[in-house]
Structure 1
Amino acid sequence: MARKPSKRYLKALELVDPKKTYPLKAAIDLLKRFPRARFDETVEMAFRLGVDPKQSDQMVRGTVPLPHGTGKKIRVLVFAKPGPAADAARAAGADYVGFEDLIKKCQEGWTEFDVAIATPEAMTEVRKLGKVLGPRGLMPNPKTGTVTDDTARAVREVKAGRVEFKVDKTGNLHVAIGKISFTPEQIEENARAVIDAVVKARPASLRGRYLHSCALSTTMSPSVRLDLKELGIAV
């Protein structure tokens, strides 16, 4: 049975013209005018891409540092054998650092962290966690900078607000870009950083239209479609 929309959602829906696309500043202004939830909602961007995710050469994936962070405390785990890389990760502020002990803990089902980083040396054993971490999007990957010997840099970047994006099996891509309590300028700068990164991630093999639509929303709000031409994106 479909859940009935809340009064707050319906009031927000009255402010949005579903046939219209909005300039980025106007879309953010709308989000700010929506009735607020009782918690600090996350602001999200959703993209509909013209790629076929089943084709390995059309996978869209990457990372982008948000100028103003995500507004969320990121729990970082680092898989590293005892030594300089592990020590550097701890000094940089990693929440969990270890090797065999953390691998065993994850094999038992523990996933109380947001980002996992691993040294190339540690990956020989960490790969065994693919079935546990993969479905949750927590598996370290060289393409996202989470497999590296420079653990200190990776930890600092993640803690500062670097986010990962990846197209899903339906060709859509979702990225959290901050909190509704951020200023309009902070939300806009974070949004433009994500848009630029997604545009630059266009697969070289793709023929035809790449970005079909883009929308902003908060955790509990309707979406506001953005004007791609105003963003400088070819349509």
Structure 2
Amino acid sequence: MRRTKGWQAKREKMNLAQGAYSLPEAVARVKAVARDWETIDVAVRLAVDPRKADQNVRGSVVLPHGTGKEVRVAVFTKGEKENEAREAGADLVGLEDIIEQVKNGKIDFDVAVATPDVMKEVSKVAKVLGPRRLMPNPKSGTVTFDVARAVKEFKGGKMDFRVEKAGIVHCVAGKGSFTDQQVVENVQALLGELVRLKPASARGVYIKSIALSATESPSVKVDVKSTGL
């Protein structure tokens, strides 16, 4: 792949002569070239086979410092739970009206939460929400009667994640405007949750590699052993 002069200049500034770095060192190198608005991502490669049901790692993590992005939360529900969701700070609350908006292609939210009693109705737009990873799912905590807690968690930095075909989990670790320590702690939170979710059938070294990158910068490899995992 041909790289731009700007990309090459950033790589030189990051001084990536060493193969892999400790997590704090890797974060420092990414932050050295990331502008405040850029998103910092972490990619973790796991020793799993996503084709096997018991190794399809999926879950959510509350990042201690959030994502740096304002998250819009929609809650599919009815009755008393509507007021509970609004009081918790949900941006969209309702059922048939939101479903109709989705059918018409208007998806003005980043996370969708639903109470179990309305999932039959929400399933009508599963083909629209599913490909966008917005379909409520019990495993990610987005199908629950405790809508207030769900809304507050997602507003506060909760992120869903799932392993992709290549065995890689991608997650936001923060913004270029974050301090180094904030990014480090966000990454540590994700790694801790991935370890907790390690499938019993996974063999050998579970976390094979970790890489950090900003929106417009080269990636930096993290020395997995240095994380203590």
One fold, TM greater than 0.5?
yes
Q: Which residue of 2 aligns with 1:202?
A: 198
User: In the alignment, what sits opposite 1:172?
Assistant: 168
CA contact (8 A) 2:75 2:85 kept: yes
Aligned residue runs from structure 1 range 59-74, under 5 A:
59-74=56-71
CA–CA distance in structure 1, aligned partners of residues 222 and 68 of structure 2: 23
Pairs aligned (count): 228
- Please report how far the alpha carbon of residue 176 of structure 1 lies from its aligned counterpart in structure 2 after TM superposition: 0.3
- Give the CA deviation at 1:210: 1.8
Structure 1 residue 205: deviation in Å? 1.9
Counterpart of 1:216? 212
Q: SS where residue 74 of structure 2 aligns?
A: strand
CA contact (8 A) 2:73 2:112 kept: yes
- SS of the aligned residue for 1:229 comes to helix
1:29 paired residue number: 28
Question: SS of the counterpart of 1:222?
Answer: coil
- For 2:95, the equivalent position in structure 1 comes to 99
Unaligned 5+ residue runs, structure 2?
Answer: none
Q: Deviations over 1:10-35 (max 9, x none)?
A: 1122234366110011111111222x
User: How far apart, in 2, do the equivalents of 1:105 and 1:232 lie?
Assistant: 47
Q: CA deviation digits over 1:163-198, x for unaligned, max 9?
A: 111111221110001101101111111111111111
Match of 1:78 in 2: 75
Matches within 5 A, 1:1-235: 4-14=2-12, 15-17=14-16, 20-34=19-33, 36-37=34-35, 40-81=37-78, 83-233=79-229
Q: Does the CA-based 8 Å contact 2:211-2:219 persist in structure 1? A: yes
Helix, strand or coil for the counterpart of 2:116?
Answer: coil
More helix by share: 2
TM-score (norm 2): 0.95
Q: Indicate the RMSD between aligned Cα atoms, in angstroms.
A: 1.4
Report the Cα distance in structure 2 between the residues aligned to 1:18 and 1:65, rounded to whole angstroms. 34
Give the Cα separation in 2 of the matches to 1:80 and 1:33. 45
Unpaired runs of 5+ in structure 1? none
| Identity over aligned pairs, percent | 50
Kindly provide the amino acid, as one letter, of the partner of residue 93 in structure 1.
Answer: G
Measured in 2, the distance between the counterparts of 1:16 and 1:141 equals: 42
Mapped contact 2:114–2:142 kept (Cα < 8 A): yes
- Aligned-pair CA distance for 1:6: 2.8
Structure 1 residue ranges (4+ consecutive) displaced by more than 6 angstroms after TM superposition? none
Q: What secondary structure does 1:123 align onto?
A: helix
